[in-house]
């Protein structure tokens, strides 16, 4: 009969990767040999070491909690309920956002204010760095007065395992959780990876245990979505959702009036899988520069934002035909 896996067995498998062993040891402030002694049952960690170990491995968090609890039944309790975070946005942060809104040049306002709010969300909702991704997807400006067909990820921030991601452009359409949120005009939440895989398989990411998409709205008009993913299952309690809604309302200050579209103008199409999008997205910066140069040569000089808009629209059109 096969023996049941213990937390020590799981740790042993994880630290078989030398780079990962060094990372964990450095984070916990212990010698790498100590990790090996824990894994081989030659020594026992202190309870605070075990709690920190779980926090250091968000991708294995739930599994580790269950396995560690078999040997140390009282160590965790109800970990979600024990996390004590304020359920209101600090009043001083409103002042920071208003200052950024009024002092940042219009060309930089959206990225500056979005980044400021995303960083605050991470610090507020994930103070122990258990694993969270926050991102903004903005409506792709349609040509002339046509309807909005997709959204484009513009800014994101994350704690481990998302803290080392390179900036990556992704287009979202009707197939996505983000797309459903902006089309319906209300938040869309998944509380488990099984639910996410079933409802939005194209955008399923294994590290995400739960996720939520909130449309950024003002008077029935939308500019985009705030997206949050957590490594914790069932993370989005009613209290946390109410807090995130407050941050979403504040995000309105990042956008100009022209960035908002009536919900009846949101007619999203289905976009291809992210990996199929990448060949169309590689080299976008060069395309933007080339478009500016060509326009100048033709005597119709355009600004960089104008060139970016044209390139995004052309990319969206190619992706829509990819399907």
pLDDT digit string (tens) for 61-75? 778 888 888 888 777
Q: CA 70, 190, 87: angle at the middle one, nearest 5?
A: 80
Q: At what angle do helices 7-14 and 32-39 cross, to 10 degrees?
A: 140
Which tens digits make up the pLDDT trace of 227-260? 999 998 889 988 899 999 999 999 999 999 999 9
What pLDDT does 287 receive?
Answer: 83
Q: How far apart are CA 189 and CA 178, in angstroms?
A: 10
Q: How far apart are CA 91 and CA 123, in angstroms?
A: 15
What pLDDT does 165 receive?
Answer: 65
Tokens of residue 23, six digits: 């990372």
| Helix, coil or strand: residue 172 | strand
- Mean pLDDT split into 10-residue runs, the chain, 323 residues: 77 92 88 93 86 79 83 65 76 95 90 95 92 95 87 92 77 96 94 90 89 95 97 89 96 94 95 90 83 84 83 90 75
In terms of Cα–Cα distance, which of 232, 283, 252 is closest to 129? 232
In terms of Cα–Cα distance, which of 154, 58, 67, 72 is closest to 111? 154
Q: Which residues pair with 152 in a beta bridge?
A: 138, 171
What pLDDT does 243 receive?
Answer: 95
Helix H or strand E encompassing 13: helix 7-14
Q: How far apart are CA 131 and CA 231, in angstroms?
A: 5
What pLDDT does 299 receive?
Answer: 83
Helix H or strand E encompassing 122: helix 106-125
CA–CA distance from 283 to each of 35, 217, 288, 290, 312 (Å)? 43, 32, 9, 11, 12
Phi, psi torsion values for 283, nearest 5 degrees:
85, 15
Q: At what angle do helices 61-71 and 7-14 cross, to 10 degrees?
A: 140
Q: Which residues contact 81 (CB under 8 A, 6 or more apart)?
A: none
For residue 45, the Cα-to-chain-centroid distance in whole angstroms is: 33
């Amino acid at each position: 009969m096969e023996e049941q896996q213990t937390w020590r067995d799981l740790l042993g498998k994880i630290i078989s990767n030398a780079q990962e062993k060094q990372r964990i040891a450095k984070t916990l402030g212990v010698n790498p040999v100590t990790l090996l002694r824990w894994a081989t049952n030659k020594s026992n960690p202190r309870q605070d070491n075990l709690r920190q170990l779980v926090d250091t491995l968000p991708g294995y968090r739930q599994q580790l909690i269950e396995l560690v609890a078999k040997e140390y039944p009282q160590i965790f309790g109800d970990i979600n309920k024990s996390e004590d975070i304020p359920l209101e946005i600090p009043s001083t942060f409103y002042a920071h956002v208003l200052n950024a809104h009024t002092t940042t040049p219009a060309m930089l306002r959206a990225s500056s204010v979005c980044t400021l709010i995303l960083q605050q969300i991470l610090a507020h909702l994930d103070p122990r760095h258990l694993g969270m991704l926050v991102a903004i997807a903005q409506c792709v400006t349609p040509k002339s007065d046509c309807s909005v067909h997709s959204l484009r990820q513009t800014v994101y921030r994350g704690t481990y395992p998302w803290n080392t991601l390179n900036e990556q452009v992704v287009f979202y359409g009707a197939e996505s959780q983000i797309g459903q949120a902006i089309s319906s005009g209300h938040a869309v939440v998944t509380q488990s990876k099984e639910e996410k895989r079933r409802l939005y398989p194209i955008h399923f990411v294994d590290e995400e245990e739960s996720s939520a998409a909130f449309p950024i709205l003002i008077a029935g008009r939308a500019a985009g979505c705030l997206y949050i993913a957590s490594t914790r299952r069932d993370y989005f309690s009613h209290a946390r959702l109410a807090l995130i809604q407050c941050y979403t309302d504040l995000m309105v200050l990042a956008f100009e009036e022209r960035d908002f579209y009536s919900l009846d103008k949101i007619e999203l199409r289905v976009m291809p899988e992210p990996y199929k999008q990448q060949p169309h997205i590689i080299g976008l910066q060069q395309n933007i520069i080339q478009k500016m140069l060509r326009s100048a040569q033709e005597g119709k000089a355009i600004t960089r934002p104008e060139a970016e808009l044209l390139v995004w629209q052309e990319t969206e059109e190619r992706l829509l035909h990819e399907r």
